[in-house]
Amino acid sequence: MGLSRYGIEVGGIANELGELLRDHDLEDAAFSVLTRLGEEAVLDMAGDAQEKALKFLSRTPSQRDKAILKMGDEDAALLILRARYLGLSASRAIFFADGFEFVVGQGYRDAAENCARKALRARLYPLMTEVLPGWGEDNESDLDDDMDDDNDHDEGPTYY
């Protein structure tokens, strides 16, 4: 049995977080905080911010609801965006790992080459437009376009 079911379920958790933004009318706060702090506030989190987002990702929907009711709108929106980013990344990582079943039985050198080719084509981190749909219309950075140009390959799947 592969890992694909885990990838689907973890992706579902990330989608719950997108719904949480809408259900609590926090989409405007999400756009506002990203405009003020930049995408790096989500993409480059570390330390305490990362730990809080990881814990929030693992909470049940009712636990998340209770937690954000105690926060200001922009703080809640930022936490949700960070957790959604991590959830989307985790889902992609699981699907990526699931794609390596072919390695068993190969020689180590062949496996090294084949896995390296697959890794070069992979994009495990979501774009901000995937974390917050609509973000890229007027205010997205040019970073995403640069990344896409570097990853134009004709063969194999891309993990979205």
* Residues 91 and 18: beta-carbon distance below 8 Å: no
Q: Residue 145 has what pLDDT? A: 44
More confident call, 150 vs 50:
50
Domain, as residue range, for 48: 4-150
Assigned domain for 160 exists: no
66 is written with which tokens? Answer: 């209770």
Assigned domain for 19 exists: yes
**Domains in the chain, number:** 1
Q: Residue 19 has what pLDDT? A: 96
- Rounded average pLDDT over 44-71: 96
For the whole model, what pTM was predicted?
A: 0.81
Assigned domain for 155 exists: no
* Mean pLDDT for the chain overall: 86
Assigned domain for 157 exists: no
Assigned domain for 29 exists: yes
Length of the chain, please?
160
pLDDT at 56 over 60: yes
pLDDT at 144 over 50: no
How would DSSP label each residue in 109-149?
HHHHHHHHHHHHH---S--HHHHSTTGGGTS--THHHHHHH
